Structure formats: C-alpha cells, structure tokens
C-alpha cells in the first residue's frame, strides 16, 4: 500500500512529539503603561525558560484600560495571566470564578512584584510653588487628574490625596472629604485615563500640576519636551501596587499552569527587577533598588491596606455608584 | 408575477429578516435582557439622578443643535457644490467624506489639539472669552464635525435633479429671489433636509470616540451620556450600563419616529403644493 510509509512516519512523529521541544504560548492581559515593560520582561523570560526547559515560550500581550481589560477576561478573553493596575480589577475576575479569591496571597508582596507611587508633575521652575498636597487647593491652581470612575490610576491618585488629608493634624473622614472635594473643584478636565491626562497636561498645556504615577511622570520627563517639567514628591503619598495573577481556569484549560506560574515568579527575579526599574517601576528587591537610588528618591508612603483595608472596601466606600466620589464629585 | 433579476420574494425577505435580526435586533434584545436585572424602578431611579439628566440633556440637546447647524451649513455647501463650477470643487467634494472615513478618536484628538487653549484656533479664541475645548461648546463642535457629511450626501442628488427651469419660470413670472427660494426650492428639498437632519442627529447622539476627547467630562457640565455607560462598566455594573443604554435607545427611537412623521407630513405637503 502506498499510504503506509506516510502513516508510519506520521505515527513516528506523534510518538516523537513529547520528547521534542514544545512551543508554548501565553497570553498576558495587562493595562496601558506596561507596554515597554513587558517587551523587555517577555524576551528575558523566554530566554530563561528555554535555557532551563528547552521549550520556546511566546508571550502575547493585550493592553488597554485596566477595568476594560478585566471585563474582557470576564467575558472570555483567554488570558493565562493578568497584570493589572489594581487588585479590584483582578478581584472582579475572581468573583466570576476564573481564579481563586485568595490570589493575592499566592505571591510575595501582595502579588505586586513592582510598585509605583503617586507624585506631581509641574511646569519648569514650578511657577505656582507646588510642594505638597495642600498646595493643590491654593487659589488659581489647576490640577489635572483622570476620572476615578473610569481610570484605575486615578483611583490611586484619589486615595493618595485622601490619605494625606487623614494624616494632617486633626485629620478625619470629614476633613479628608472636605479636602478632596475642594481638590476636585480645581480640576478643569477629567480625562478618562491616565495617559489621556498626561497628554492634556503635557501636550495641551492645561493645568499647573499633573497628579500622576511616578512611572508615567518619569516617562513624560524622558519624552520629547520633557525638560519643560519637574517632578515634585509630596510629603506623604501612597504605594501603588499593580498586582499580577494566574487565571486558574484558563491556565488549566490551556495546560499552561507551570509556565504561567514561572512567568509571574520570574517578575521577582533580580534580572526582571532590573528591567522593571529601567522602566521606571520601583523594584521590590533591595539590591536593585539600591542600584537605582538616584532615579527613585526616598518617599514617605502608606499602603492601601494601612489606611483603607483592601480594594473591595475602598471601592465600596469611594468609587461605587452613589458612593463618596459621586457625592463630592466636581459639578456637585 | 414578473420575474425579478434577483431571487424571489420569499428568499430575499427571509434573508433581510434574518440579517436584520442577527445584526440589529439580537444585540438590542441582549441589551434589554441585561437591563431587565435593574427593572423598571431601577431605570426610573437612574433617570431621576441629576447627573443622568444632565448627561442626557447634553447628548441629545447637543445633537439637536448640531443637526440644525449641519442642515443650514450643509445646504449652503451643497448648493455651492452643485450649482457652481470653481477650481478645487472636486477636492472640496472629496473632503466632505473625510469625517466618514476618519477614525473618530483621530477626529477627537485633532479637534482638541486645534481648540485647546494652546492650539491653533484656541489661542485666539480663549483671550476673547470663547473656550471651546473641554466645554459643552467643544462637544457641539465634535458633533457638528461627525454629522456634516450626512446632510451634504443626502441633499446632493436631490439638488442635482432639481431643474433650473422651474426657478427660471418662477423668476419670469415675477417672483423675487426670496420667494423663489421659499416657495419653489425649499418645499422640494424639505423632506430630504429632514432625512439629513435625522441622520446627522442619530450619529451625534451616539458619538463617543471624537466627543470624549474634547469634552471636559466634568459631571453635570460637560459629561456625555455614553461616558456614563462606560463608567458603569468600569464598576462591572453590566445591568446599570444596559439600563442606561435602553434609556438612550428609547430616546433615540422616539426622536427618529418623530422626525420620520414630520418627514412624511412635509412630503405630502410638498406633493400637494407641486
């Protein structure tokens, strides 16, 4: 029979397959400003995995607004891992049963391999003399920050401002509420996302101060015309912890559990920590942090858990429909 | 029965219904189904919020004004294109389709860049006290931009088929220019103008991409209704978002029905006058 040789070679190929190197594909669903970061991480991880296991790993990326990305995963985007801007968005995926609700305790440091913080970007020479949160509500100061209702980054901004007000002498929920209410009266444009707010401030020339993630501020300073800005570190601010997690159900379905786990653990390795620092995220590793000390000046920070408990509580208290932000919102 | 070029009535109707069902009706049904979680009382509560009301007022009010502007300007532009020959006419004609083809986000960013206080036009307008970008006026500008080609493209063929002899006859019978326009030209064009109006209106109401960049998005002031839907989705509130979607759907439907009633009425009136 003529077919037999073909069939035989096919059978041989099938038998031989498991011992040959595999091609593995992972999908990492992330948020907008991590584009450059993961380009570097993915190359490094693929090389690392190939050296250890001989398989080639291709990591596909999807970037977008953090909340929108979480919704896409909930609605069926087959992400093996999610690397988002805030834990609340991964909680929402967990609520739909795609991963265990204990996801944040499975990896060190609240499952956030890198952090950032909230700082101010002001115009060159700091003409309005903005040095701390209190200066944002001075007469004639315009503040640019995105809308906490549509932007994860903006929620970190809001919580940083709230935490500052709480930490002032005599600070309590009422004084904090009064402070953020006044603060948002100084906001002329509420962009829907962090990158949009950076553009409004840097390109359109609106506002005296941009409240921004430190990594965005450093990126803006590196970009064209970056010498027109200065970074101001307030007296106290929040540690922004963008978390990562394996999407259990999808990884199980794709048979990628091991490599997905390894990929996230790799984010804590010295090599990855260095890439993160080069992309303006503060590394967790003390050694790498020491190396980049000039880029990341010491800041006086509090964590979300210190002041607000966890993201579910913060979301319910401040950003849910009819919650505090809606009550004090600009225009009200 | 006469034979048609394309297959019979049964097949074409079946195809039309199936297609419409799949592309239009099924998604709308899904919208209604998701919104049903909120219930009628939920929708009423949503509607009674001052923020929803302000956003709906800006979206629908802005779209109405933009459609009116487009009808007047569109008529003038179409008239110039159809009745006169001038250098660059073809280029102008092609340019009109640009808002159709341009990704709306690009349009929004371009408009914002021009009208921002440091933009080409903004730097002259702002000292005069006219702030366009990040105000309701900016929303209006974006809505005019995206709706413009609809008026011109619906009006153009009708104006082309309008015979000049009728106008000459009116003139030879002693009508003034104003009389000729109001009693001869306008009645013939009115139904078409209304179609253009309805299309420009519909586009402006639902427009998100271009409007979102130039709107200040400040609640109660410069926040459009589609943004409220996006905000609900950010809270993973699918039902609330759908409910707001249904409210917009009903408003749009009512507006379009109203326009088509007026349209039919003017057509009958135009035919009676002819």
CB-based contact A330 B237, cutoff 8 Å:
no
Q: Could you report the per-residue pLDDT of A226-271, keeping only the tens digit for each?
A: 899 999 999 999 999 999 999 999 999 999 999 999 999 999 999 9
Which of A64-68, A141-145, B64-68, B78-82 is least confident? A64-68
Q: Which of A77, A137, A75, A80 is nearest to A254 (CA)?
A: A80
- The answer to whether residue A141 scores a pLDDT higher than 90 is yes
User: Nearest CA to CA, how far is A309 from chain B (Å)?
Assistant: 19
- Per-residue pLDDT band for B164 (boundaries 50, 70, 90) equals confident
pTM: 0.83
> In the beta sheet, which residues pair with residue A62?
A29
User: Nearest CA to CA, how far is B99 from chain A (Å)?
Assistant: 22
Mean predicted confidence (pLDDT) in A48-68: 93
**What proportion of chain A, given as a percentage, has pLDDT over 70?**
92
Q: What tokens appear for A239 in the block? A: 């540690």
- Per-residue pLDDT band for A312 (boundaries 50, 70, 90) equals very high
Question: Which of A237-251, B4-18, B121-135, B180-194 has the highest average model confidence (pLDDT)?
Answer: A237-251
Mean predicted confidence (pLDDT) in A117-140: 96
- The answer to whether residue A8 scores a pLDDT higher than 70 is no
Q: What is the mean pLDDT of chain A?
A: 91
CB-based contact A204 B119, cutoff 8 Å:
yes
Higher-confidence residue of B79 and B11: namely B79
Q: What tokens appear for B26 in the block? A: 């099924």
pLDDT for residue B182: 87
Q: What is the ipTM of this complex?
A: 0.75
Return the residue in B126, B232, B236 with the most chain A beta carbons within 10 A, the one to mutate for interface testing: B236
Residues of chain B with Cβ-Cβ distance to A191 below 8 Å are 217
User: Nearest CA to CA, how far is A70 from chain B (Å)?
Assistant: 9
pLDDT for residue A19: 52
- Per-residue pLDDT band for A5 (boundaries 50, 70, 90) equals low
| Chain B positions with Cβ closer than 8 Å to A | 51, 54, 112-113, 116-119, 133-134, 212-213, 216-221, 223, 227, 230-237, 240
Mean predicted confidence (pLDDT) in A29-44: 93
- Number of Cβ within 10 Å of residue A169's Cβ equals 5
Mean predicted confidence (pLDDT) in B71-95: 94
Distance between CA atoms of residues B274 and B269, nearest Å: 9
pLDDT for residue A1: 43
pLDDT for residue A33: 84
pLDDT for residue A20: 63
User: Nearest CA to CA, how far is B95 from chain A (Å)?
Assistant: 27
pLDDT for residue A177: 96
- Per-residue pLDDT band for A7 (boundaries 50, 70, 90) equals low
Q: What is the mean pLDDT of chain B?
A: 89
Mean predicted confidence (pLDDT) in A111-129: 96
Distance between CA atoms of residues A162 and A332, nearest Å: 18
Distance between CA atoms of residues A184 and A101, nearest Å: 34
Return the residue in A76, A319, A331, A332 with the most chain B beta carbons within 10 A, the one to mutate for interface testing: A331
Mean predicted confidence (pLDDT) in A179-185: 95
Mean predicted confidence (pLDDT) in A199-207: 90
Distance between CA atoms of residues A167 and A182, nearest Å: 17
∠ CA A116-A66-A219, rounded to 5°: 40
Task: Judge whether A213 and A160 are in contact, CB under 8 Å.
Answer: no
- Per-residue pLDDT band for A332 (boundaries 50, 70, 90) equals very low
Residues of chain A with Cβ-Cβ distance to B219 below 8 Å are 329-332
- Per-residue pLDDT band for B236 (boundaries 50, 70, 90) equals confident
pLDDT for residue A103: 96
pLDDT for residue A6: 57
A67 Cβ under 8 Å from any chain B Cβ: yes
- Interhelix angle A270-278/A35-53, rounded to 10 degrees, is 160
Distance between CA atoms of residues B121 and B114, nearest Å: 6
- Per-residue pLDDT band for B274 (boundaries 50, 70, 90) equals low
Distance between CA atoms of residues B102 and B115, nearest Å: 18
- Per-residue pLDDT band for B24 (boundaries 50, 70, 90) equals confident
CB-based contact B216 A188, cutoff 8 Å:
yes
Mean predicted confidence (pLDDT) in A42-46: 97
Minimal-distance CA residue of chain B relative to A207: B117
> Would strands A237-240 and A114-123 be described as parallel, antiparallel, or unpaired?
antiparallel
A171 Cβ under 8 Å from any chain B Cβ: no
A201 Cβ under 8 Å from any chain B Cβ: no
| 3-state SS, one letter per residue, for chain A | CCHHHHHHHHHHHHHHHHHCCCEEEEEEEECHHHHHHHHHHHHHHHHHHHHHHCCEEEEEEECCCHHHHHHHHHCCCCCCEEECCCHHHHHHHHHCCCCCCCHHHCCHHHHCCEEEEEEEEEECCCCCCCCCHHHHHCCCCCEECCCCCCCHHHHHHHHHHHHHHHCCCCCCHHHHHHHHHHHHHCCCCCCCCHHHHHHHHHCCCCCCEEEEEHHHHHHHHHCCCHHHEEEECCCCEEEECCCEEECHHHHHHHCCHHHHHHHHHHCCCHHHHHHHHHCCCEECCHHHHHHCCCCCCCCCEECHHHHHCCHHHHHHHHHCCCCHHHHHCCCC
């Amino acid at each position: 029979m003529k077919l037999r040789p073909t069939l035989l070679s096919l059978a041989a190929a099938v038998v031989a397959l498991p011992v040959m190197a595999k091609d593995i594909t992972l999908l990492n669903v992330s948020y907008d400003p991590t584009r450059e970061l993961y380009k570097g991480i993915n190359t490094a991880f693929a090389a690392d995995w190939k050296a250890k296991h001989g398989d080639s790993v291709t990591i596909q990326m999807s970037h977008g607004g953090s909340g929108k990305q979480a919704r896409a995963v909930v609605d069926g985007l087959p992400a093996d891992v999610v690397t988002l801007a805030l834990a609340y968005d991964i909680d929402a995926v967990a609520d739909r049963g795609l991963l265990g609700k204990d996801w944040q305790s499975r990896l060190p440091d609240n499952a956030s391999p890198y952090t950032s913080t909230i700082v101010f970007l002001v115009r060159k020479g700091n003409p309005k003399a903005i040095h701390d949160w209190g200066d944002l509500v001075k007469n004639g100061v315009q503040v640019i920050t995105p809308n906490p209702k549509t932007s994860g980054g903006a929620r970190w901004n809001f919580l940083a401002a709230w935490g500052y007000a709480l930490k002032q002498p005599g600070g309590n929920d009422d004084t904090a509420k009064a402070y953020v209410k006044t603060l948002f009266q100084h906001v002329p444009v509420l962009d829907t996302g962090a990158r949009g707010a950076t553009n409004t401030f840097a390109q359109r020339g609106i506002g005296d101060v941009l409240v921004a993630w430190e990594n965005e501020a450093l990126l803006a300073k590196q970009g064209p015309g970056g010498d027109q800005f200065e970074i101001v570190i307030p007296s106290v601010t929040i540690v922004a912890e963008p978390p990562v997690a394996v999407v259990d159900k999808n990884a199980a379905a794709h048979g990628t559990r091991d490599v997905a786990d390894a990929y996230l653990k790799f984010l804590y390795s010295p090599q990855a920590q260095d890439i993160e620092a080069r992309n303006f995220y503060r590394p967790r590793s003390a050694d790498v942090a020491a190396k980049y000390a000039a880029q990341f000046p010491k800041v006086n920070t509090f964590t979300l858990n210190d002041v607000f408990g966890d993201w579910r509580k913060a979301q319910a208290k401040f950003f849910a429909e009819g919650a505090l932000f809606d009550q004090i919102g600009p225009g009200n | 029965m006469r034979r048609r070029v394309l297959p019979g009535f049964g097949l074409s109707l079946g195809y039309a219904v199936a297609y419409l069902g799949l592309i239009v009706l099924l998604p709308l049904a899904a919208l209604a189904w998701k919104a049903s979680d909120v219930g009628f009382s939920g929708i009423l509560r949503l509607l009674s919020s001052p923020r929803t009301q302000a956003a709906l007022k800006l979206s629908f009010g802005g779209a109405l004004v933009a459609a009116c502007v487009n009808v007047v300007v569109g008529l003038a532009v179409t008239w110039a294109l159809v009745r006169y020959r001038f250098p660059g006419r073809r280029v102008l004609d092609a340019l009109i389709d640009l808002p159709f083809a341009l990704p709306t986000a690009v349009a929004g960013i371009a408009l914002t860049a021009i009208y921002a206080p440091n933009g080409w036009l903004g730097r002259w307008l702002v000292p005069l006290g006219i702030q366009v970008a990040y105000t309701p006026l900016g929303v209006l500008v974006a809505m005019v931009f995206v709706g413009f080609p609809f008026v011109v493209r619906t009006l153009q063929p009708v104006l082309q088929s309008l015979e000049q002899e009728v106008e000459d006859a009116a003139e030879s019978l002693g009508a003034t220019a104003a009389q000729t326009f109001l009693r001869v030209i306008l009645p013939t064009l009115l139904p078409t103008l209304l179609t253009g109006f309805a299309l420009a209106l519909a586009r402006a109401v639902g427009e998100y991409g271009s409007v979102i960049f130039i709107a200040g998005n400040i609640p109660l002031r410069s926040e459009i209704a589609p943004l409220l839907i996006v905000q609900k989705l950010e809270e993973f509130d699918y039902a609330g978002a759908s409910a707001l979607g249904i409210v917009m759907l009903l408003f749009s439907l009512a507006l379009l029905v109203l326009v088509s009633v007026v349209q039919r009425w003017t057509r009958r009136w135009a035919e009676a006058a002819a």
